[in-house]
Amino acid sequence: VGAGMGWHEFVSWTLDNDLPGLENLALIPGTVGAAPIQNIGAYGLEVAQLIDFIEAYDVQANAFFTLSNDECRFAYRDSYFKQNPNRFIVTKVVFKIPKAWQARLQYADLAKQFAELKTSPSAQQIFDAVCTIRSNKLPDPKVIGNAGSFFQNPIVSTEYYEQLSKQFPNLVSYPDSNDKRKLAAGWLIDQCGFKGKRVGPVGVYEKQALVLVNHGGGTSTDILNLAKNIQEEVLGKFGVQLEIEPNIL
């Protein structure tokens, strides 16, 4: 798939052409070429799980290269490309989608949509549900300035997770690899009272505490000051350091 194609347009195309597998990643803004840079992910799926290899131009070597999935060193919101900024221009992403399709419904928000369905939902139904959830929960960047999730979900040891969940029984988390647990950063921020909070022209989105918004006229300093305040409060209450997800230029 050419790097310049719109991501959501591509996901829709796969479903129209009977190639299900990417539906959990519907409606993520951006291009196909940007998708592997931070290894985009949502609702229990990361794009790296379905990438076979990547074609890229290396501006240092002045040559085109093919990088296998392993060579891309994908990790949670990370890749070899992100680790080497401005070195590679991704030109093509080659996907490998298993013929045996399976619904991925481990995220509670998504599973809830199908609670009353007696059979497993189709890929198209999951695609539609993801679009509905995202449209209801996330602000449209064309209407209100935002960069999507402003913080990564922190990953902690199972031991620390168990300690925290005794103290906070409603703690929202997801299983992660290697005996680790991913905590829902939005929940941590919400518990510190930030959801919907406004600080001058910037604030925390009222429907999703993970998203910082610019109501108009806010500067990067306003956003970073708010982010710092959130990081300090979350660290103080939960002992967890939140990392900023977008690139700060």
Ligand X SMILES: Cc1cc2nc3c(=O)[nH]c(=O)nc-3n(C[C@H](O)[C@H](O)[C@H](O)COP(=O)(O)OP(=O)(O)OC[C@H]3O[C@@H](n4cnc5c(N)ncnc54)[C@H](O)[C@@H]3O)c2cc1C
Residues 140-159 that bind ligand X (CB under 6 A): 141, 146-149
Among 15, 42, 45, 202, indicate the residue that binds ligand X (CB under 6 A).
Answer: 42
With CA atoms as reference, report the closest residue to 204 among 217, 218, 189, 216: 189
Residue 93, φ and ψ in degrees, nearest 5: -120, 125
Does 131 engage in binding with ligand X (CB under 6 A)?
no
With CA atoms as reference, report the closest residue to 130 among 6, 51, 41: 41
- CB closer to ligand X, 123 vs 211: 211
Strands 45-46 and 155-157: unpaired
Q: 244 near 227, Cβ under 8 Å? A: yes
C-alpha distances in Å from residue 20, one per residue of 2, 5, 80, 233: 19, 18, 27, 41
Number of residues located near ligand X, criterion CB under 6 A: 24
Could you confirm whether 149 is annotated as catalytic? yes
- CB closer to ligand X, 47 vs 230: 47
**Which is the catalytic residue, given 77, 104, 173, 233?**
77
Q: Segment near ligand X (CB under 6 A), from 39-47, 106-114, 175-183, 217-225?
A: 39-47
Does 22 engage in binding with ligand X (CB under 6 A)?
no
Q: How many residues in the chain? A: 249
Does 26 engage in binding with ligand X (CB under 6 A)?
no
H/E run at residue 50: none
Distance CA 137, CA 43 (A): 13
Q: At closest approach, how far in Å is the CB of 4 from ligand X?
A: 8
Indicate the residue whose CB is closest to ligand X: 30
Name the DSSP letter for residue 238.
Answer: H
Could you confirm whether 77 is annotated as catalytic? yes
Among 14, 24, 31, 191, indicate the residue that binds ligand X (CB under 6 A).
Answer: 31
Q: 160 near 214, Cβ under 8 Å? A: no
- CB closer to ligand X, 32 vs 164: 32
**Residue numbers at the binding site for ligand X (CB under 6 A):** 3, 28-31, 33-35, 37-38, 40-42, 81, 88-90, 138, 141, 146-149, 247
**Residues designated as active site:** 77, 149, 245
